[in-house]
Amino acid sequence: MYFGIADFWVFLAYALCLASALICVVYGALKWNQNGDTTPE
Amino acid sequence: MENMLFLLVLVSVYLFGIGYLGYRGFRGTRTATDYLIAGREAHPFVMAMSYGATFISTSAIVGFGGAAAVFGMGLLWLTVLNVFVGIFVAFVFIGIRTRAMGHRLNAHTFPELVGRRYDSLFLKIFAALVIVLFMPLYTGVVLMGAAKFIEVRMGTNYEVALFFFSALVALYVIMGGLKGVMYADAAQGGIMLFGISLLIFFTYYRLGGISSAHEQLTELAHAVPESMAGAGHQGWTSMPAFGSPYWWTLVSTIVMGVGIGVLAQPQLAVRYMTVKSTKELNRAVLVGGIFITLMTGGAFTVGALSNVYFLNDPEVGLISIAAARGDVEQIIPEFIRQHMPFWLGDVFFVTLMAAAMSTASSQFHNMGTSTGRDIYESFVTRHSSGASILATRIGIFITFIISVTLAYVLPVYFEAGIAIVARGTAIFFGLCAATFIPLYMGGLYTRHITKSAAISGALVGFFASLFWLVFVHDSTASALQISNMLFGRSNIFGDTRTGFILWSHVDPLFVGLPLSIIVTAVVCFFTKPFSEEHLATCFKNK
């Protein structure tokens, strides 16, 4: 049992959902003020 | 009566807000660029919420949430792919290059982008035709999900709900263009986040917390009916038995079909071209990651846990699919109606309206621009900006009629319980993946793909997927009956296995995409590469 979940593979999916969200949050926060490659020329 | 009054006030406020945002979009639309890609100046929050709200429809909540009530929490693998592939990989590795190339080539639509990248009118029109002919299926099931929920919650007739809901969406898309759509999307995304957060909280809270809820669901494994256990079901917190029909449907169609298919969705790819720099895309990763995790993870978890509520209810005492009388799409609406406070049901009603509207509006916009911008303008050489917009608006109207007709016909034609909404979505996502992924991603990352290779790969991927859908994939082949008419059997492979592979349950994506990649790669070696001048236009500064 993993936090009440019977199958390790289902628990892994649950954990990876949260990990993926964390990756997105950390990436977005780190790049928040980094200027991008914006000109008509 | 008071309950109905609360709902009517909530819906009125919501519709007034959407009407106002549609009007703002209409007032802010002065050029065709405004109408097609929001003037390339979308705010990162608006863009991220718009991407998320377009990505997540009633299909994700009602369709796949209902599927989670049947298949269990294994559906969370789709959330993993939705967040990691659909947001992180899509924005960082595809979105940034799509935006830059889209700006360089002055592309306003997905077909126009691939057409100009490969200097091919055929590819542009072919991509537009795939959208115009097959997106109505996806739009139809999204509208169906919304109309079914309106039917349950407001006690109206399904057909009436479907018509008025669809007409309302088409109206604000026709008027406001992509600016109106994206403003409304951002507001709808906010409503969706609020609604799903409340639903997740209450579902876990009433079962005593996260671990307690999971344990109660695990203990229900004995309640799996014989018919489901025979197909591989091992309980709602376990994956289906490896290689079983349930395993193939869950892994190949639901998880991979939608999880990979998101990379080549025309209505999502166009979002990358609405921002002016990569900074906006990087910021959108943060907003999108949180949004998609909560929306899909929440819907799938609640769907699976609904079994505990229905089984423990002394008046019901059945698993979710039985409590919803075999109709997968009715599980979430019934769960909320029977087991959540009335006000949460009303808030969630508006949440679902927002989810359906935000997706359907982008689908209508995309089908319209494919008709007007990509097909009409390709055949009419002298045209004004106004004529192009008129053609787009007519395109939206025609595809609106087709989509609504499909939403009327599908529930009649297909038996209840086969999860039409989830499967219809997976079919479109898989078809787009097999047709577009090699030429789209290859076109962004390599200079070596030739015009002939891109066209060959797209055609092989498309027709291989279509063949598999019509003749092999049991859930679609048996419903379409074409294989039955020609060969006297629902699908040409029957129950043939090769090792653990049960061919009739393998998703078309697993056949179409590898074939498409192989053909694209092989044809590159034998055909003429693009001129350096053309490649410099596409890849300047790279």
For B292, which residue in chain A has the nearest alpha carbon?
A: A21
- Please, which residues have CB within 8 angstroms of residue A30's CB and are 6 or more apart in sequence? none
Measured CA to CA, the distance from residue B413 to residue B422 in angstroms comes to 16
* Residue B377 burial (C-beta neighbours within 10 Å; 0-12, 13-18, 19+): middle
pLDDT attached to residue A12: 93
Position of tokens 């289906």?
Answer: B240
pLDDT attached to residue B235: 92
Q: Is there a contact between B88 and A23 if contact means CB atoms under 8 Å apart? A: yes
Of B79, B88, B215, the CB nearest to A24: B88
Measured CA to CA, the distance from residue B161 to residue B285 in angstroms comes to 35
Q: At what angle do helices B420-445 and B110-117 cross, to 10 degrees?
A: 30
Cβ distance B293 to B28 under 8 Å?
no
Q: Is there a contact between B282 and A28 if contact means CB atoms under 8 Å apart? A: yes
The secondary structure of residue B528, as a DSSP letter, is: P
pLDDT attached to residue B384: 62
pLDDT attached to residue A40: 41
Is the pLDDT reported for residue B382 higher than 60? Answer: no
Is the pLDDT reported for residue A2 higher than 90? Answer: no
Cβ distance B374 to B113 under 8 Å?
no
Asked: is B2-420 a CATH 1.20.1730.10 domain? The reply is yes
Distance between alpha carbon A3 and the CA centroid of its chain, in Å?
21
Cβ distance B62 to B332 under 8 Å?
yes
Q: Where are the domains of chain B?
A: 2-420
* Residue B51 burial (C-beta neighbours within 10 Å; 0-12, 13-18, 19+): buried
Distance from CA of A9 to the nearest CA of B (A): 7
pLDDT attached to residue A41: 38
Is the pLDDT reported for residue B339 higher than 80? Answer: yes
Chain B CB contacts of A27 under 8 Å are 88, 92, 282, 285-286
Is the pLDDT reported for residue B16 higher than 80? Answer: no
Of A5, A32, A38, the CB nearest to B237: A5
Which whole-number Å values give the CA distances from B200 to A33, B194, B214, B330, in the listed order?
Answer: 33, 10, 13, 18
Per residue in B124-151, pLDDT tens?
889 998 988 888 888 888 888 888 778 7
Highest mean pLDDT (candidates B342-351, B403-412, B456-465): B456-465
